[in-house]
Amino acid sequence: MAIEMDLPPSMVMRLLQTEDNDNDVDILKSHSIWLCVTCEMCLSRCPMEIDIPSMMDFLRQESMRRKLVNKQARNIIAFHKSFLNSIKYTGRLFELGLIIDYKRQSFNLMQDITLAPGMISRGKLHFIPNIVRDRAHLKKIFKKTSK
């Protein structure tokens, strides 16, 4: 994904090292922090063994907290929220619920709509979610992590 990034991971790390507020703002406004897919390729190649994926995750959270999110990241954030909502309410991924929630948040209502019939006929999209038994425990986990 580095080829698609406005700031490659190495540049993000260099800018963080400067401890300059303007650089920090540039990083938090960048699209790069949202394109990181946490594949850990950068971590495996980093001679300093810096956990760049964890750093990117922190930067995304900080970007949202400070309201500096790059406008191009809107759909990425919508998908992320939809995924977490699915896990939060069912305890596991409910694909159809994720799709409906993502489309509601992103307004990409017609995107990939032609794929749905084939996925349903092959049993890839279920209409009823499988819900875990101990949802109280799940609720505690989400409550702890939201702090």
Contact 60, 27 (CB under 8 A): no
Question: Do 83 and 105 lie in a common domain?
Answer: yes
CA distance linking residue 51 with residue 68, whole number of Å: 23
Provide the phi-psi class of 12: left if phi over 0, else alpha when psi is between -120 and 50, else beta. Answer: alpha
Is there a single domain that holds both residue 25 and residue 42? yes
- pLDDT at res. 24: 95
Task: Decide if 127 contacts 100 (C-beta within 8 A).
Answer: no
Q: Is the dihedral of CA 99, 101, 104, 105 positive or negative?
A: negative
Number of domains comprising the chain:
2
Q: Give the structural domain span for 59.
A: 2-69
Q: Which pTM does this prediction carry?
A: 0.75
- What the block records as the tokens of 126 is 């279920």
Residues 43 and 60 placed together within one structural domain of the fold: yes
Residues 17 and 63 both lie in one domain: yes
Same domain, 89 and 125: yes
Using CA atoms, how far apart are residues 133 and 138, in angstroms rounded to an integer?
10
Q: What is the pLDDT of residues 6-55, one digit of tens each?
A: 998 889 999 999 999 999 999 999 999 999 888 888 889 889 888 999 99
Looking at residue 117, its amino acid is P
* Residue where a domain terminates, one of 51, 69, 87: 69
Is there a single domain that holds both residue 81 and residue 131?
Answer: yes
pLDDT digits (tens, 9 = 90+) for 59-70: 999 999 999 999
Are 86 and 55 in a shared domain? no
- Checking if the pLDDT of 142 tops 80, the result is yes
Alpha-carbon gap, residue 62 to 56, rounded angstroms:
10
Element (H, E) at 15: helix 9-17
Average pLDDT rounded to a whole number, residues 104-111 = 88
> To the nearest 10°, the Cα dihedral for 89, 108, 25, 13?
80
Which residues, other chains included, contact 113 with Cβ-Cβ below 8 Å and sequence gap of 6+? Answer: none
Confidence band of 112 (pLDDT split at 50, 70, 90):
confident
